[in-house]
Amino acid sequence: MVTRRHLFASALGAVIAASSMRASVAKARLGEDGLYQFDWYVESFLDLADDLAAATRDGKRFAILWGLRNCPACRRMHEVYMADPKVESYIRDHFAILHLNILGSREVTDFGGSLFTEKRLAAHYGIIGTPAIQFFPRQADGLATRQPREREVARMEALPAQDGFLPMFQQVVG
């Protein structure tokens, strides 16, 4: 016999399970550099050709996410847009995201072997605001000979409306 107590306990268990599952799916942390990070973002030696090749080997698309300390739109993207488990899991499953600081000083090796600081690399690619995302093709072949902007297959130059965020990633995959 099912009592009200059993129904209540079952419902409460379902609510707790759903809320803990949602919390564990998408939780960005603020790094020491002031940029939001997910544990699934690319940990890189900052060699773009190697990162693209690794993403391709893993069956993913390579993208660079440009952020900035105290950027309100970066915060919104991580804490609101990517807090949606559907959005976060789609991006995590289909993309290798390298998060760079638009004003950063770490050295990055570009596709042609040139070394740039993050700040100079952002300028080299014409990145002027954050968040910005550059999406690259599956192979690095020939990228070094192209102009920087022509290396990308798509770009997000500013944070779109929330309902346009996931479709942008889906379009790149498709």
Domain residues for 34? 28-173
**Mean pLDDT for each 10-residue chunk of the chain (174 residues)?**
49 46 62 88 95 97 97 95 95 97 97 96 97 95 91 96 96 94
Residue 9 lies in a domain: no
Residue 116 lies in a domain: yes
Preceding peptide of 131 cis, ω within 30°? yes
Residue 22 lies in a domain: no
What is the distance between the alpha carbons of residues 28 and 39, in angstroms, rounded to a whole number?
Answer: 8
What would the pLDDT profile of 37-51 be if each residue is shown by its tens digit?
999 999 999 999 999
Residue 4 lies in a domain: no
Number of domains in the chain: 1
What would the pLDDT profile of 128-161 be if each residue is shown by its tens digit?
999 999 999 998 889 999 999 999 999 999 999 9
Residue 10 lies in a domain: no
Burial degree of 76 (CB within 10 A; 0-12, 13-18, 19+): middle
Parallel, antiparallel, or unpaired: how do β-strands 95-101 and 61-67 relate? parallel
Residue with tokens 């690399």: 121
Please answer whether residues 135 and 55 qualify as being in contact, where contact means their C-beta atoms are separated by less than 8 angstroms.
Answer: no
CATH of the domain at 129: 3.40.30.10
Please answer whether residues 38 and 74 qualify as being in contact, where contact means their C-beta atoms are separated by less than 8 angstroms.
Answer: no
Residue 120 lies in a domain: yes
